[in-house]
Amino acid sequence: MSQRKKRSRGLGQLLIPLVAMGLLLIFNLFRDPGFFSIGIATNNSGNAVLTGNLISIIDSASELAVISMGMTLVTAACGGQDISVGAVGAISGAVFAKVLLGFGSITGATVVLGFILSVLATILFKLFNGTLVAVFRIQPMIATLILYSCGRSIAYWINGDATPQLNSPILSAMGMTIPGIPIPTPIFAVIIVGALMALIFRLTTTRLYIQSVGINQGAARLNGINPVAMKLLSFALLGVCVAVAAVIGVSRLGQLNHKTLLVDIEMDAILAVAIGGNNLGGGRFRLSGSILGAYIIQMLTTTLYAMSVAPVNVKTYKAIVIIIIVVAGSPVVKAKLTALLNRLCYAGLPSSAHKGVN
């Protein structure tokens, strides 16, 4: 029985998001089988690219998927969410653009340099948040409210009023497709970041440490784990994710707009974490759940667009679906459903049998 419990706990967290995604896919299958068609088209620069709704979902959810991975770590370690990722992402984009514009020419070397500097700057800003949270013990949401309200202004200050255009084949290869490879490049970025995270958590004890800090900070400290260091680490990793997402966002558009880059992504990222079945109060986490959550959100948006819902009305339907998903995942509803299921399966047996199953 204990084995069965263990197995169900492993899948349990992913059950709701998997079912949600499956329902969305089935819904699309009945609505319009053409939704799943994947074709090859030639884009403006003459490259063969894969087209189709599925590709566009996976492609355009890249920034969200990357950020929600980092958000999961911060949530797990600190028991709170970072609401400044969009604003700090604008800063990383601004640093990236500043470096490229400063050199005047966009070559492979300057792009790499710009990326590295952007990552460093973002980590710096995230460590500011992290210090407030870890050392000063301020609620994450409040601590990140500071950069939420002034982050985009800092991005504006770095680059001036303009929305600089960054046209270069290198950037379009990073943001759209590399010539010769029909798969959009941002997908590779998600895979690389995900693989690196998986490596970190497989090869080191970081996962255990972060979880134990999130579950009980005092107990973790008594066991020799430094809670401050773990929280700072989670914020630094989130910083890397934000910088990657910002660079994808800038190169996708070929320009930097500090007002619209990664706008409102913090809310979607927190939603992705929650839909993925992670506890927003910290503790155990699954990155795969959050990534799945990010793709569900994007699939929902794309499905609504494909049903020709006006873009301004998408939010309403999104809200309704989110409420349904979180209600289905709520512990109270889950317990009720399990009880109902047990009663159906063991209808004729005396009550001791129910207890044996539970």
Partner 1 sequence: MTRPVNPVRRREPLTDAQLLMTISICIFVVMYALAMLLLGGGFLKTQQLFDILNDNAYLIIIACGLTIVMIGGGINISVGGVISLTVMACALFLNGCGIQSPALTFIATLLLALGIGLAFGLLQGFLISYLDIQPFIVTLAGMFLARGLTTMLSVNPVKVSNSGFQAIIKTKIEIPWLGYVAKNGNLIPARLETGAVIALCVVALVYLMLRYARAGRHIYALGGNSQSALMLGINVRRTKMLSYVLSGLLSGLAGFVFLMHKPAGNASVAMRSEMDAIAASIIGGTLLTGGVGNVIGTFFGVMILATIQKIIGLSGLNDSWWQDMANGAMLGFFILLQSVVLFVRGKGGPKLPWLKKEKPRQS
Q: Which two tokens stand for residue 217?
A: 């900070």
316 binds partner 1 (CB under 8 A): yes
198 binds partner 1 (CB under 8 A): no
Note the Cα 217 to chain centre separation in Å. Answer: 25
Among 49, 173, 274, 292, binds partner 1 (CB under 8 A): 274
| Burial class (CB within 10 angstroms; exposed 0-12, middle 13-18, buried 19+) of 306 | middle
Amino acid making up residue 171: L
138 binds partner 1 (CB under 8 A): yes
| Per-residue binder mask for partner 1 (CB under 8 A), 238-267, x = binder | -----------------------------x
In the complex, the smallest distance separating the C-beta of residue 135 from partner 1, rounded to whole angstroms, is: 6
For residues 79 and 142, the answer to whether their CB atoms sit within 8 Å is: no
Footprint (CB under 8 A) of partner 1, residues 328-347? 330-333
Residue 12 and residue 329: Cα distance in Å, rounded?
10
The smaller minimum CB distance to partner 1, of residues 154 and 181, is found at 154
Footprint (CB under 8 A) of partner 1, residues 57-96? 81
For residue 103, CA distances in Å to 27, 35, 93, 236, 254 come to 50, 44, 16, 27, 17
Classify 184 in phi/psi space as left (phi over 0), alpha (psi -120 to 50) or beta.
beta
116 binds partner 1 (CB under 8 A): no
In the complex, the smallest distance separating the C-beta of residue 321 from partner 1, rounded to whole angstroms, is: 9
The smaller minimum CB distance to partner 1, of residues 126 and 152, is found at 152
Residue 313 and residue 295: Cα distance in Å, rounded?
20
For residue 44, CA distances in Å to 21, 39, 60, 179 come to 33, 16, 18, 12
In the complex, the smallest distance separating the C-beta of residue 177 from partner 1, rounded to whole angstroms, is: 32
Q: What angle do CA 18, 246, 115 make, to 5 degrees?
A: 125
Closest residue by Cα to residue 128 from 87, 93, 94, 98: 87
136 binds partner 1 (CB under 8 A): yes
The smaller minimum CB distance to partner 1, of residues 195 and 323, is found at 323
148 binds partner 1 (CB under 8 A): yes
Residue 131 and residue 234: Cα distance in Å, rounded?
11
Binding-site size for partner 1 (CB under 8 A) equals 46
Q: Which stretch binds partner 1 (CB under 8 A): 62-70, 99-107, 150-158, 344-352?
A: 150-158
Q: What are φ and ψ of residue 50, in 5° steps?
A: -75, 140
Among 38, 150, 196, 337, binds partner 1 (CB under 8 A): 150
In the complex, the smallest distance separating the C-beta of residue 327 from partner 1, rounded to whole angstroms, is: 6
Contact residues for partner 1 (CB under 8 A)?
81, 132, 135-139, 141-143, 145-154, 156-157, 267, 270-271, 274, 280-281, 310, 312-320, 322-323, 326-327, 330-333
